[in-house]
Amino acid sequence: MKNTLTFILNLVLGLGYLQAQNIEITGKVVDANSGAPIEFATVKLLDGESKEMIAGTTTDASGAILLTTQRDNFFIEISFIGFITQTISDFERDGRKVNLGTIPLPEDSELMDEVVIRGERSTTEFKLDKRVFNVGQDLSSTGASALEVLNNVPSVTVNIEGQIQLRGIGGVQILINGKPSVLAADGGNALGTITADMIDRVEVITNPSAKYDAEGTSGIINIVIKKEEKKGVNGSVTLNTGVPNNHSLGFSLNKRTEKFNLFSQLGIGHRTFPETFETINSNLSDQSYVRNTGDGEKNETFFNLILGTDYHINDRNVLSLTGNFAYELETEFSTGNFISENRFSGPIAGWVRDESTEATNPKWQYELQYKSDFSDNDDHYLLISALGSSFAKDQMSTFNNIAEFGETALQDRQKTDTDFGQAEYTFKADYTQPITEQITFESGGQYLITDVNNDFSISTLDDGIWVEIPERTNTFLYTQKVLGIYSTGAYEGEKFGLKLGLRVENTDLNTLLEQSDVENNQNFTNLFPTLHSSYKLANNFSIQGGYSRRISRPRLFDLNPFYNIRNNFSIRTGNPELLPELTDSYEITGILDLELISLSSSVYHRYITQTVENVTIFEDNVGITKPMNIGTNKATGLELNGKITPNDWLSLSADFNYNYFNREGTFEASPFDFTADQWSARLTSKFNLPADFTLELIGNYQSAYQTFQRNISGYALADIGIRKKIMKGKTILNLSVRDAFASRIFENETVQNNFSQYDYRLRGRFITLGLSYGFGKGEAMEFSGQKRF
């Protein structure tokens, strides 16, 4: 017992002696320019003779240092990315304490430039089953919206209505961060409040694996929103102004600690979209026609707020909560000058039709996600998420007809009212397990619920009282439930890779026109097999192949039978009996990657059944257009992508897509069979100029092409982007000119046996000047926010 007490006493005295010998080192690290504290700076305590590290730590939120050591011969090294490393060997001791005082770290301009250069990824990267387009390198997207960004992505085209095509074919599914989003819904202005500065990258998936939702016959486009993960405080502020009106302010702020990652983005703005138009409806039987020429403008004020947090429960488990609120206030005005005329007898009547529209579009989205990484492998994880969203639209349009000569059959005044609401819920689980280093298994499921209520009415003014037109007034109810489960297995060796998958989806669709009691119910189950393979023939050359089966279910506005009466002689309506498209897609791609040049070439084929096309029927000089299932479409295409960087100041990128298709089917008991083709090309030249200037020139060409009824004209356009980095890259000045020569004309003509319809529209040139400033540890955003074409 005595020996035990003696041992404990000696131990306590020894520990006290060692504690007494500890040297305590304190200090504070700040930015030499601003004096702001630097959090998470690395502090190393090094042995004075061997130079080996004795101890280390990082600074806290106030920039403070706290270290202890028993060594007498040591020095301190303090570093942080973007700053010049400081070594401190000359310091004073006060007994067993060393106070380093305030240590200013000056920014390293050369290192900052190196970091910026290394951080720039190639504009397009190729993965096994997708291509990744890095938005930050596209200078011409300054002040652009998500739709305009997509229009600059290889293989993707966006028309004036915001309809997106991939390799010349519609039926594209748009995802936000890999999930369906209210911001990409059909209602209102899809993708309107997402601006280029919010986007990290765009993923184009032409042959998705079974892991992805089978929706989208031509593939998937996934827009990935930026979310900063750097420790500390990071942020950016962007400011835009432009002609026509394009004024916006964007703000991003992130805070990363050991346990939490808090992120936020805010965008507000106002913009104007002017337009000139012309439509001609011709009755070829009696040689009469109605022409409408005019102009208009659309004004939008928008607000978008994203808030979210990642809670790192521990090293293996993360819980994320994200909320998004967007709001749009729209006003639209147009004046159409109508004339009714017979080519033999001359003018019949003339009138002016004025439109005034006001609408509000609030949008909500919220998501809870849990990810668990298993301890045996970082690629072994379980991901569970629940997502809810809602979108509402309250819109009223008034139309005033002013007769100039002759008699018209039109009402003097008309009004439309729309009260629209959509709720969507997505529940998803994904499990990934590596069996060996080469073999990986994936499985999961998704349940998607969409619920829509749309009240619509058309009224006329009768003796000062608005009277609804019963046959044009109704409530449209739409409910769709999709349950999908999948499994995939993949082998990735040193040279050869193979991925097989199968997805099963059940769709339950119900629509109801309440007032007229017209109901449409559909329930069907589909199998969607997928196959992907790759083989590396050499270190710089590989071949990829893929097959997938896809579905494109009718969208809400394809089913909704209400009329758009902006032009009473050119009306669009939906089709409640529309069936889904089904596509079998095959693709082979070769990729060559050399030091200065990279090339890829793809040959693809798609076989589409129950093809959906817009069909126009002509009655009493009125063209009524609605989507219908018209036969099959066999499309075969060639796509070429290339990039060459001959020196440090020049890079050239080119994309070419050729699409040949064969359409077969029957319409109104008459069979049809025709072949047609279309092609598009894009050339991007990027110049790194002196004084931190960068110039980008983009040329686009879209050929003319033919659909079931229409001949659509081609167009060429040019975009220009200029960037100037100042304050060592912390501030960026951007200037963009989109459609520099105002040559992007949307023109099409429908010609049938007894009628023809011509449509022309032009939006014109957009010029935007943007300023972006990055603070904390953040970098300046490359772009800011305009909206859509």
Of all residues in the chain, the percent with pLDDT exceeding 70 is 82
DSSP code string of 710-747: EEE--EEEEEEEEEEEETTTTEEEEEEEESTTS--EEE
Q: Which pLDDT does position 376 carry in this prediction?
A: 67
pLDDT category at 154 given cuts 50, 70, 90 is low
Three-state secondary structure string covering 6-23:
HHHHHHHHHHHHHHHHCE
Structure tokens given for 760:
């022309």
Q: How much is the pLDDT for 264?
A: 84
What is the DSSP track for 38-69?
A: -TT-EEEEEETTT--EEEEEE--TT-EEEEEE
What's CA 439's distance to the chain center, in Å?
Answer: 32
- The mean of the pLDDT values for the chain is 81
Cβ-based neighbours of 546, under 8 Å, separated by 6 or more: 129, 206, 207, 530, 531, 532, 533, 585, 586, 587, 589
Query: Cβ atoms within 10 A of the Cβ of 109, count?
Result: 12
Mean pLDDT of the region 69-84: 81
Residue with tokens 């096994």: 128
3-state secondary structure of 60: coil
- Please say whether the beta carbons of 225 and 177 come within 8 A: yes
Asked if 737 and 787 touch (Cβ cutoff 8 Å), the reply is no
Count of Cβ atoms closer than 10 Å to residue 632 Cβ? 13
User: In the predicted model, what is the mean pLDDT of residues 163-188?
Assistant: 64
pLDDT value at 112 more than 50: no
Q: How many CB atoms lie within 10 A of CB 315?
A: 8
Q: What is the pLDDT of residue 11?
A: 42
For the ranges 5-19, 557-571, 626-640, 763-777, the lowest mean pLDDT is seen at 5-19
Q: Which of 219, 221, 217 is nearest to 607 (CA)?
A: 217
Q: Which range is most confident: 310-324, 407-421, 518-532, 557-571?
A: 518-532
Cis peptide before 690 (omega within 30 of 0): no
Confidence band for 177, pLDDT divided at 50, 70 and 90: confident
360/145 Cα distance (integer angstroms): 19
End-to-end CA distance of the chain: 89
Task: Report the C-alpha gap between 705 and 708 in whole angstroms.
Answer: 10
Residues 6+ apart with CB under 8 A from 9: none
Mean pLDDT of 449-471: 88
Choose among 783, 781, 768, 776: nearest CA to 233: 776
Say whether pLDDT at 89 is over 50: yes
Q: Which of 447, 439, 423, 450 is nearest to 496 (CA)?
A: 439
Q: In sequence order, what are the beta bridge partners of 335?
A: 295, 354
**Residue pair 41/63 in contact by the 8 Å Cβ criterion:** yes
Q: Model's pTM, two decimal places?
A: 0.70
Instruction: Sketch out the chain's domains with CATH numbers.
Output: 22-107 (2.60.40.10), 232-776 (2.40.170.20)
CA dist., res. 702 & res. 715, Å (int): 5
**504 contacts: CB under 8 Å, gap ≥ 6:** 484, 485, 486, 525, 526, 527, 528
| Distance between CA atoms of residues 76 and 93, nearest Å | 14
